[in-house]
Structure 1
Amino acid sequence: MIESSADSWVNSLMDNLGAPGAGIAIALENLFPPLPSEVILPLAGFAASTGRMSLVAALLWTTAGSVVGALALYWAGALLGRDRTVAIAARLPLVKVSDIERTEAWFARHGTKAVFFGRMIPVFRSLISVPAGIERMPLPLFLILTTLGSALWNCVFVLAGFALGENWEEVTGYVSTYSKVVLVATVVAILGFVGARLVRPGPGQRRG
């Protein structure tokens, strides 16, 4: 079980490193989404309730971890760049270069909201940093939006774990349901996209 192993692993990190251990776990969660923040954050709150770390330190370090993980993905997107993204898209079945261009236009209009609110959506919390890097969103703006969005998300679950104490695992049930709804909606959207391509295929035009 992912959650069970994550529980043990995060506990070990926090036992050895304290609040910085929780920050490291969250940074890795950004890079490897299967590591569930719904386990890490309430567990950090519970640890704070037992005196293993201060609540403020738990909040600060988990938010710092979120920002570090997001920055790594931002720079991965920046290194990938638009040209490589388009080249990769051109080789994918059912994906057209025009799809990339529409995505670019959408991000130009809504990128700030996407980066901020994306921090509160499972899976997308990590992935949204990549297009931000590809589109070279100004780094100070990216850092501000990421810090604020991550702080809100982290505070909710760290404080919930702190308040629930030994019953911190109750938080994971609610977030797990939320995550499943998001993932189902994503799968439906992908299937709709694929279906539309199969029904109305057409060559994409490379922008000059």
Structure 2
Amino acid sequence: MDVEALLHSIPPLAVYLVVGGVVGVESLGIPLPGEIVLVSAALMSSHHDLAVNPVGVGVAAVIGAAVGDSIGYSIGRRFGMPLFDRLGRRFPRHFGPGHVALAERLFNRWGVRAVFFGRFIALLRILAGPLAGALKMHYPRFLAANVSGAICWAGGTTALIYYAGMAAERWMQRFSWIALVVAVVVGIIAAILLRERTSRAIAELEQEHYRKADTAA
């Protein structure tokens, strides 16, 4: 199959809807690859032969993030912290006691700033809205941090990938393939180390949770 022809067959509106939908559902609290979808769409927008507009991609992501987080906030406020207990039993890989405890600790430490910076952190990107609602965060403050974080994350990511895509060809002309491979490897190692650090923190908090549960029993 001709990949170029396939990309040309995708309507720009469909790209915007997919970006907004996936980012929105992820922000609602359902684990989806919102960042991957956003980056892919931004790369498409950097291809001048395609009709996908980077502004449209960024706006779709901002709207999806803001609306999804607000719906998640409403759900969290309605059902409270017991909601996470039920989700943890059903989806322990995403809503286990360690995940929730780590997110709650970050909320307690950062306050409303956790909503803003949570847009850039995979764990908080999923839990920020529902957890802010469950913790009864003041909604106007939540909304301000939510929208500003969405603009910085979606707009910044789209702009970065868009300009990187346009510069990629010129960059490749000036540097060797070895330099590209080294840059990619360094990025992957950094991502793995960050994930492992988060996983260790989650595991420690889960052990602490179960110790407390055994003591209480």
TM bin, normalised by shorter chain, reads 0.5 to 0.7
For residue 61 of structure 1, what is the aligned residue in structure 2?
Answer: 60
For residue 72 of structure 2, what is the aligned residue in structure 1?
Answer: 73
Q: Any conservation in 2 of the 1:46–1:161 contact (CA below 8 Å)?
A: yes
- For the pair 1:32 / 2:10, whether they are aligned, the reply is no
Cα distance in 2 for residues equivalent to 1:174 and 1:41: 22
TM-score, length-scaled by structure 1: 0.67
For residue 114 of structure 1, what is the aligned residue in structure 2?
Answer: 114
For residue 154 of structure 1, what is the aligned residue in structure 2?
Answer: 154
Between the two proteins, what is the percent identity of the paired residues?
22
Q: Any conservation in 1 of the 2:15–2:41 contact (CA below 8 Å)?
A: no
TM-superposed CA distance for 1:41, in Å, is 1.8
Cα distance in 2 for residues equivalent to 1:110 and 1:197: 22
Q: Any conservation in 2 of the 1:19–1:61 contact (CA below 8 Å)?
A: yes
Structure 2 alignment gaps of length 5 or more: 1-6, 90-96, 170-179
For residue 130 of structure 1, what is the aligned residue in structure 2?
Answer: 130
Cα distance in 2 for residues equivalent to 1:106 and 1:164: 32
Structure 1, 104-113 or 157-166: larger mean CA deviation: 104-113
Question: Partner of 2:31: helix, strand, or coil?
Answer: coil
Q: Any conservation in 2 of the 1:43–1:158 contact (CA below 8 Å)?
A: no
- For the pair 1:21 / 2:34, whether they are aligned, the reply is no
TM-superposed CA distance for 1:196, in Å, is 4.3
TM-superposed CA distance for 1:148, in Å, is 1.2
TM-score, length-scaled by structure 2: 0.64
Cα distance in 2 for residues equivalent to 1:29 and 1:78: 18
Cα distance in 2 for residues equivalent to 1:174 and 1:19: 31
TM-superposed CA distance for 1:77, in Å, is 0.8
TM-superposed CA distance for 1:64, in Å, is 0.8
* 1:152–1:173 CA distance, 2 compared to 1 (3 A): farther
Q: Any conservation in 1 of the 2:106–2:114 contact (CA below 8 Å)?
A: no
Question: Partner of 1:120: helix, strand, or coil?
Answer: coil
1:133-155 residue CA offsets vs partner (Å, 9 max, x unmatched): 11222222212101111222222
Cα distance in 2 for residues equivalent to 1:106 and 1:124: 9
Aligned-residue RMSD, C-alpha? 4.1
Within-5 A mapping of 1:175-186 = 179-186=191-198
For residue 202 of structure 1, what is the aligned residue in structure 2?
Answer: 215
Question: Partner of 1:59: helix, strand, or coil?
Answer: helix
* 1:58–1:173 CA distance, 2 compared to 1 (3 A): farther
Cα distance in 2 for residues equivalent to 1:11 and 1:146: 34
TM-superposed CA distance for 1:62, in Å, is 0.9
